[in-house]
Amino acid sequence: MDALLLSRLQFAVTTYFHFLFVPLTLGLSIIVAIMETLYVKRGDHDYLRMTKFWGKILIINFIVGVATGLTLEFQFGTNWSRYSQYVGDIFGSLLAIEATTAFFMESVFIAVWVFGWKKLSPRLHATIIWLVAGASTFSAFWILVANSWMQHPVGYVIRNGRAELTDFFAVVTQSYSILTFLHATAAAYILSGFFVMGVSAYHLLKKQHVNIFTQSFRIALSFTLIASIFAVVEGHMHGADLAEKQPAKLAALESVWETQSYSPLYLIAIPNLQNDGNLVEFGRIPGVMSLLAHHSPSATVTGLKDFPKELRPPVLPVFLAFRLMVGMGVLFMLLMIYGWFRRDKLESSPTFLKIMFYSIPLPYLVCLAGWTVTEVGRQPWIVYGLMKTSDAVSPIATSQVGLSLIAFIITYTLIGITAFMVIAKAVRQGPAPGEKEDL
């Protein structure tokens, strides 16, 4: 164990944990905003009860996300100082822009929303939650632009021994940024929709608060149906973009070893642990890989053997995570299409409701798998083609990192359990009674 490995583990632990909370904030804030808008437009108090019920969960989730997000900004300096020094000119400014343009709005207005029920008119109060939702998504945009720059650096020149910005516009608008942003937000919306539908299913199965949870379910269903179809279509485009920009990652996703035209897809393939070929290959369909990556069966797909062994990402985890992500993504879409035809008969579809309840954790898993594909697939680079992860770590004592890693694991486990407990309690409790005076 050295500071490099420990720092990588620590970054993985803290980022994965942070991202258990971020996607629900992104999507649930929009769903709550839709509910509150319906309340303002229609004046039906069930919409208000709905807003408050989901709002409470949103807040708990939001605060844990905020608390654990601070870690990430600190960590670039504490654990990855060589990286920070090398790319701060570009990467640092994106983080600073995120903080000033988005995170401020999100944090300031969410408190107004929580504390301002009696101080603001219903219309203004509903506007505030839209501002929170918009700012959260904007915040995600900047973070993903920063991450995309690590995947595909553009708009820079190497000068004074570091990467210096030459074209800010290119950094922000490159297709990698836009595709990543769309992909991650779609995933976040799916996760949030599944959460809302799963929790609603729990109450509908118990036949309690039927109106509120039927409405909640249906709002989330329309929202998620769009997001899940979008994610699949957009995911394919993202893959094709990847083929141009990160050929090693694309090859790892599909475990493609040989560079060839009419590149085949195997129905079953398992990459070996030596990271130099497939253990199992079965069901060869020529040309499909070329078709998927370059939209032409005769196109040449670059295989991993074209990269020196030390420049290949570890194929097995990337390959498996990719399969989990794509398989689940398609399943989510099918479930949503099926759900769309059951939308008026939810109460008489207990099996579907049960499936939706037990599906709550699945999109969480898929999000973590997605980040595994993105981040492990980029290795050994921290900035693709520009800086290796091993050159990026801070010159710090191993013991310091070891201690902080242990502290993170303990603290985050405790926070995770408590957050789960508290959210589960709010879920079970259901919406507060509907008397006008109590609201």
Partner 1 sequence: MLETIWLLLWGLLWGIYFMLDGFDLGLAILLPFLAKDEQEKNTIYNAIGPFWDGNEVWLVAAGGVTFAAFPAAYAVMFSSLYSPLMIILFALILRAVSIEFRGQIENPPWKLFWDRCLMIGSFIPAFFFGVVFANIFRGIPIDGAGIFQGSILALFNMYGIAGGIFFVLLFLLHGSLWLAIKSEGALMERAGRLSRKLSIVLTAVIPLFLILSYFWTGLFTNYLNHPLLFIIPLVVIISFVMMFLFIGRGAWWKAWFSSSVVIVDVVLFAIVGLYPNLLPSSLDASYSMTIYNSSSSPLTLKIMLAVVLVVLPLVVIYQGWVYWLFRDPLSEEDLPHESY
By CB under 8 A, tell whether 424 contacts partner 1.
no
Closer of 108 and 210 to partner 1 (Cβ): 108
By CB under 8 A, tell whether 66 contacts partner 1.
yes
By CB under 8 A, tell whether 237 contacts partner 1.
no
By CB under 8 A, tell whether 84 contacts partner 1.
yes
> What are the backbone dihedrals phi and psi of residue 344, each rounded to the nearest 5 degrees, phi first?
-95, -5
By CB under 8 A, tell whether 70 contacts partner 1.
yes
How far apart are CB 127 and partner 1 at their closest, in Å? 12
- CA 429/CA 427 separation, integer angstroms: 5
Give me the torsion for CA of 223, 59, 328, 238, rounded to 10°: 70
Return the residues of window 361-380 that contact partner 1 according to CB under 8 A: none
> CB under 8 A: which stretch of 230-238, 260-268, 357-365, 393-401 binds partner 1?
393-401
Among 98, 241, 254, 375, binds partner 1 (CB under 8 A): 98
Tokens of 324: 């989990």
By CB under 8 A, tell whether 407 contacts partner 1.
yes
By CB under 8 A, tell whether 68 contacts partner 1.
yes
Burial group, residue 436, by CB count within 10 angstroms (0-12, 13-18, 19+): exposed
Among 9, 13, 67, 288, binds partner 1 (CB under 8 A): 67
How far apart are CB 349 and partner 1 at their closest, in Å? 32
Among 38, 40, 59, 373, binds partner 1 (CB under 8 A): 59
By CB under 8 A, tell whether 390 contacts partner 1.
no
Return the residues of window 117-146 that contact partner 1 according to CB under 8 A: 117-120
Among 9, 12, 165, 170, binds partner 1 (CB under 8 A): 165
By CB under 8 A, tell whether 5 contacts partner 1.
no
How far apart are CB 431 and partner 1 at their closest, in Å? 16
The radius of gyration computed from the CA coordinates of the chain, to the nearest angstrom, equals 23
How far apart are CB 142 and partner 1 at their closest, in Å? 10
Burial group, residue 218, by CB count within 10 angstroms (0-12, 13-18, 19+): middle
In 10 A of CB 226, how many CB atoms? 15
By CB under 8 A, tell whether 168 contacts partner 1.
yes
In 10 A of CB 59, how many CB atoms? 18
Among 37, 222, 390, 411, binds partner 1 (CB under 8 A): 411
How far apart are CB 61 and partner 1 at their closest, in Å? 10
By CB under 8 A, tell whether 395 contacts partner 1.
yes
Return the residues of window 100-119 that contact partner 1 according to CB under 8 A: 100-101, 103-105, 107-112, 114-119
Closer of 218 and 388 to partner 1 (Cβ): 388
Closer of 78 and 175 to partner 1 (Cβ): 78
How far apart are CB 416 and partner 1 at their closest, in Å? 11
> What are the backbone dihedrals phi and psi of residue 347, each rounded to the nearest 5 degrees, phi first?
-65, -25
**Cα angle 57, 62, 63; round to 5:** 110
Return the residues of window 280-299 that contact partner 1 according to CB under 8 A: none
